[in-house]
A and B are shown apart, each in its own frame.
Chain A
Amino acid sequence: MSRHPLEEHFAECFVNSSVTPEQLHHIRQCLKCREELQQFEGMIALLRDTVRTGVDERLCERPSQLGRPAPAVRRLEHTPGLVWKWALAAAVVVSIGMLPLVFQSWQGRQGRRPASPGLNSDQDAAALMESINIHVSRDLPAPMEPLMLVVRQVQPKQ
């Protein structure tokens, strides 16, 4: 009886599973082993009492709604989580699908940019006015040309 079986087989002895008669005999006789088992047993009993008392108290605080199962309401209670999951998954799929389109349109915008990106808006406006002026100064006299001819024809007679 020099070796205590609890040192190696505590769990087996506590559960009372696959314990040899010799080990059982030792535990019955040995004060140290008995105390050790009783101490652990006491802790487990404390846990049991704690959980039981605690749960009883909680259940008294929360009146039961269990007697009235309402399937429609219950289904609604269950859906928000599911809807959110599906919505999130759908959003991810859609955004992944949109990526090529967004990339394409961005590339297109890059391609349509003017060749001289150094010009600012004032310079653009000035260049535009200049081209208009050139156009107007060249085009406006054209309709007046016949009138000028008449004027020239009239002038020598005076």
Chain B
Amino acid sequence: MKPTATTEFIPTGKVKPISEIENIESLVERYRTRVFRFIFASIRDLDTAETLTQDCFWKAHQHRSSFRGDCSVHTWLLRIAINLVRDHVRTKRFQFWKKAELVPSHELVNWPDCGISPEEQSDISDQVNTIWKASGSLSERQRTVFILRYIEDLEIHEIAESTGLSESSVNVHLVRAVRNIRRRLGATK
């Protein structure tokens, strides 16, 4: 006799976290920083990043019924964010008369006074600024993969899920991104 209702254990990772997606406020509270950070690191414009983050959550809320639960909510939101960033970059290509004020890394943070000398601070700031600039000059896909791996600390399979690329493709883009950044660093030294 076949059981009419399953009483088997269902792994929580595969269950559609309906409540998490339904409640927009808790969704925003939980993922806002990560989504905003990714978008900001991709486009380097605070106002646009804020707008695109809003768009991301708005789209997620609109299309919540299409979420199948085959990946985590974070990955799903990142996928939407990646598409929004891609659309923004493509639109921006045709808006050459608009100049966004991009944030340089030295304006991003005030270095806390943690016992390092101003010279050391300046040196560190220069290094970070160089990588920040270099990552900005990467191709869209390389930058996305680089940010997801080294700023968002995602694993290769998570990046593959978010970007829709295969894991080997992610690795290839990552290698190229690191190579280009290192080349830039070498050029500035």
Q: Do A and B bind each other?
A: yes
Residues of A within 8 A of B (CB): 10-12, 14-15, 17-18, 40, 43-44, 46-48, 50-59, 62, 64-67, 69, 71, 74
Whether A69 contacts B174 by the Cβ 8 Å rule is: no
The total of interchain contacts (Cβ-Cβ below 8 angstroms) comes to 91
A54 interface neighbour in B54, B109, B127, Cβ under 8 Å: B109
- Contact across chains for A43 and B131 when beta carbons are under 8 A apart: yes
Question: A40 near B174 (CB under 8 angstroms)?
Answer: no
Q: How far is the CB of B124 from chain A (nearest CB, A)?
A: 6
Given known contacts A48-B150, A66-B53, is B32 in contact with A17 (CB within 8 Å)?
no
The contact of A55 among B33, B124, B132, by CB within 8 Å, is B33
B128 lies within 8 A of A47 (CB): yes
Known: A40-B182, A43-B131, A46-B127. A56 touches B33 (CB 8 A): yes
Please classify the interface of chain A as helix (H, G, I), strand (E, B), loop, or mixed, using the class held by over half of its residues: helix
Judge whether B58 and A69 touch: CB under 8 Å.
yes
User: Interface extent on B, as a size class?
Assistant: 35 or more
How distant is the Cα of A11 from the Cα of B182 in the complex, in angstroms?
Answer: 8
B86 on interface, CB distance cutoff 8 Å: no
A50 to B108, CA, bound (A): 7
> B46 at interface (Cβ–Cβ under 8 A)?
yes
Please give me the 9 A-B residue pairs with the lowest Cβ-Cβ distance, nearest first. Answer: A54-B108, A11-B179, A11-B178, A17-B171, A54-B109, A67-B25, A66-B28, A11-B175, A55-B37
CB nearest to B39 among chain A residues: A55
For the complex formed, measure the closest distance between the CB of B31 and the CB atoms of chain A, giving whole angstroms. Answer: 10
* B153 close to A59 (CB less than 8 A): no
Question: Taking A55-B40, A58-B46 as contacts, is the C-beta distance between A10 and B178 under 8 angstroms?
Answer: yes
